[in-house]
Amino acid sequence: MLVYLNGKLVPKEEAKVSVFDHGFLYGDGVFEGIRIYNGRIFKLREHIERLFYSALAIALEPPLTQDELVEATIETVRANNLRDGYIRIVISRGEGDLGLDPQKCKSPNVVIIADKIAIYPPEVYHNGMKIITVSTRRNSPQALNPNIKSLNYLNNILAKIEANRANVPEAIMLSIDGYVAEATGDNIFIVKNRRLITPPLYLGALPGITRQTVIELAEKRGIQTEEKTFTLYEVYTADECFLTGTAAEIVPVVEVDGRKIGKGIPGDITLLLMEDFHQYVKEEGVEVYK
Ligand code: PXG
């Protein structure tokens, strides 16, 4: 495996950064997770754009342009000869001293890893997923905005630990005010009376690229999406529920906190959108091998 590190493709074993990198010391940095389907990088521009917004929000100036990063990402995938897989891009603050001050970090580190992806077992997609609501609340946007995809994922990891202890693969996180925000690494949708409802981003959710794709695919089917605040009551009484994310794609949710959602099987609209999504990923995306 070859890893992109600051402009060079190096063997995995040589892809190393300093322990004084503030990404390591403080979680000071940003990242993206991107899929490769059928030799195409899915929504590459959108991911790079989100990465740059995350960087802007933490006043981290990437040492290369969006176009250069797009090219570097394509190059990394090509060098590893991948047709299907997962890309992780990381821009960390870079090497500094032991103090917090990011001004001491003169050059950000840029890493691109392209690898195979571990996904949920097929049963999850056929039978649906059982999840819980965790007690860890999503970071308040007033404190640390979850719109920033930063290297500081402890909020989500604390939620994931609760999910692990309950033996479920994902979990709902509520906002500070108790509204449904998102899952630990996925966005959430419910279906009520053939309309999609998803939490607004200001509640503290990542502007998911899969979320946006699902909204657009639904629109093409004449299914409206409403972004509005809702509580667990709306989840428990929903007709359908599903999660969206780069790794998860669209996962039907059939049980939340021990309560069956709808009929307790993946819903019709969920299944329709899953089908549309699978078709779409084959066609969309930046071709790596031309
Ligand atoms: N919310 C959060 C908090 C995320 O981290 C999503 C939603 C979905 O966004 P996209 O753009 O992917 O549709 C994410 C992204 C993992 C893992 O290992 C998941 C993400 C990132 C890194 C790791 O589950 N998901």
**Closest to 284 in 3D by CA, of 213, 233, 229:** 213
Among 54, 138, 206, name the best residue to mutate to test ligand 1's pocket (greatest count of ligand atoms within 8 A of Cβ): 206
Report the pLDDT value the prediction gives residue 108, as an integer from 0 to 100. 98
Please tell me what DSSP assigns to residue 95: B
Name the closest-CA residue to atom 23, ligand 1. Answer: 185
CA 256 to chain CA mean position, Å: 21
CA angle 161, 167, 173 (to 5 degrees): 50
pLDDT along the chain (290 residues), means of 10: 98 98 98 97 98 98 98 98 97 97 97 93 96 98 96 98 98 98 98 98 96 98 98 98 97 98 98 98 91
Among 172, 246, 273, 277, name the best residue to mutate to test ligand 1's pocket (greatest count of ligand atoms within 8 A of Cβ): 246
Quick one: which atom of ligand 1 is closest to the CA of 184?
3
Cα 152 from Cα 149, distance rounded (Å): 8
User: What domains can you pick out in the chain, each with its CATH number?
Assistant: 2-115 (3.30.470.10), 122-283 (3.20.10.10)
Report the pLDDT value the prediction gives residue 12, as an integer from 0 to 100. 97
Q: Which of 149, 160, 228, 260 is catalytic?
A: 149
**Under 8 Å CB-to-CB from 214, ≥6 apart: which residues?**
189, 196, 225, 244, 250, 273, 277
Cα 255 from Cα 13, distance rounded (Å): 43
- Catalytic residue at 260? no
Placement of tokens 């990923």 in the chain: 281
Cα 39 from Cα 282, distance rounded (Å): 9
Name the closest-CA residue to atom 5, ligand 1. Answer: 185
Name the closest-CA residue to atom 15, ligand 1. Answer: 185
* Ligand 1 lined by 141 (C-beta under 6 Å): no
Report the pLDDT value the prediction gives residue 229, as an integer from 0 to 100. 98
| Dihedrals phi, psi of 278, to nearest 5 degrees | -60, -35
Beta bridge partners of residue 9, listed in sequence order = 4
Cα 230 from Cα 195, distance rounded (Å): 14
Placement of tokens 């999609």 in the chain: 196
Cα 271 from Cα 252, distance rounded (Å): 8
* Ligand 1 lined by 150 (C-beta under 6 Å): no
**Is 50 in contact with 69 (CB distance < 8 Å)?**
no
* Ligand 1 lined by 182 (C-beta under 6 Å): yes
Report the pLDDT value the prediction gives residue 96, as an integer from 0 to 100. 97
Among 151, 161, 187, name the best residue to mutate to test ligand 1's pocket (greatest count of ligand atoms within 8 A of Cβ): 187
The SS3 assignment for 112 reads: strand
**Closest to 88 in 3D by CA, of 41, 56, 55, 22:** 41
